[in-house]
Amino acid sequence: MFLELKECIKDAFDPALKSYVDSDDYRQAQWEFDQIYIAFYNDLPEGLRKRFTELINARGDLESGLALEAYYRGVVHGIELHNDVK
């Protein structure tokens, strides 16, 4: 049951954040990041551009995993607190 709950929570992650990802605040933050990334990328020599992109992608994957785990643990903790209050 526990693994099933974890999978259900993780499956709900993207839909739960859709309104945030679609928000003007998030889009603005993403646009600002993109501007910094593009400017830096364009200043790099050709030989470093691929490695820099790999670095950014690896960091993004790491941060996404952290966010997903935090979301899962937050939901589980909330359920536990709710059950303790009953």
The label of the residue with tokens 């691929």 reads 50
Where do the structural domains in the chain lie, given as residue ranges?
2-85
Which residues touch 26 (CB under 8 Å, ≥6 apart)?
20
Please write the tens of the pLDDT for every residue from 45-66: 999 999 999 999 999 999 999 9
Q: Cα–Cα distance between 14 and 46 in angstroms, integer?
A: 35
* Mean pLDDT per 10-residue interval, the chain, length 86 residues: 74 87 96 97 97 97 93 88 80
